[in-house]
């Protein structure tokens, strides 16, 4: 995994957060935050039945990623509490390795405070500086208007829409936006 030096940043409400690279000791807190956000069932594609990763799996993944220079996992902490996770992973095939796949989750009570923007800014700066990817891509539910607004402010563009891509627990369907940002 790529390494980003820890840096303190200020949120919109003037709290200090720490942005740093994940390590093997973060498995438990990452696992817990991921489960918490998935259990909200309103902003992500996954539901709790889909999340089969264990704490040990997360630790192993972090350890493995530390050895891959084209993979980035950033954490945001407030008063030593994990409040955000951002990952960028390369495409799995040689012909798609130029595309970085970005994922972002923020603890619910820390949303709309600029943390996602801070994490995205730092991750995109890393991607541009290290010349690892030509393009960063992500997927977002059409109903996640705040996330879409953030991505658009960072110059991501909707490149495709998968109609009825996600079936919600209430049997309603939601479209999935595929967004991309060229960085070369």
Give the pLDDT score at 52: 64
Give the pLDDT score at 1: 55
Q: Mean pLDDT across the stretch 9-31?
A: 94
Alpha-carbon radius of gyration of the chain: 16
Average pLDDT, the chain: 90
Q: Mind listing the pLDDT tens digit for each residue in 73-115? A: 999 999 999 999 999 999 889 999 999 999 999 999 999 999 9
Give the pLDDT score at 46: 60
Give the pLDDT score at 47: 59
Give the pLDDT score at 48: 58
List Cβ neighbours of 60 (8 Å cut-off, separation of 6 or more).
none
Give the pLDDT score at 163: 97
125 CB-contact burial (10 Å; exposed 0-12 / middle 13-18 / buried 19+): exposed
CATH class of 7-138: alpha beta
Higher pLDDT, 47 or 140: 140
């Amino acid at each position: 995994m790529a390494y980003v030096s820890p840096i303190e940043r200020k949120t919109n409400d003037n709290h200090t957060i720490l942005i740093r690279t994940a390590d093997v000791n973060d498995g438990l807190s990452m696992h817990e935050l991921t489960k918490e956000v998935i259990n909200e069932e309103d902003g992500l594609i996954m539901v709790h039945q889909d999340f089969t990763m264990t704490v040990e799996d997360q630790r192993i993944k972090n350890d493995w990623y530390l050895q891959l220079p084209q993979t980035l996992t950033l954490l945001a902490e407030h008063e030593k509490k994990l409040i955000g996770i951002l990952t960028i992973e390369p495409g799995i095939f040689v012909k798609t390795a130029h595309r970085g796949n970005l994922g972002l989750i923020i603890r619910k009570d820390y949303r709309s405070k600029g943390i996602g923007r801070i994490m995205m800014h730092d991750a995109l700066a890393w991607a541009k500086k290290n010349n690892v990817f030509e393009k960063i891509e992500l997927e977002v539910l059409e109903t996640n208007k705040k996330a879409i607004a953030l991505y658009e402010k960072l110059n991501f563009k909707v490149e495709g829409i998968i109609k009825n891509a996600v079936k919600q627990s209430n049997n309603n369907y939601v479209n999935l936006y595929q967004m991309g940002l060229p960085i070369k």
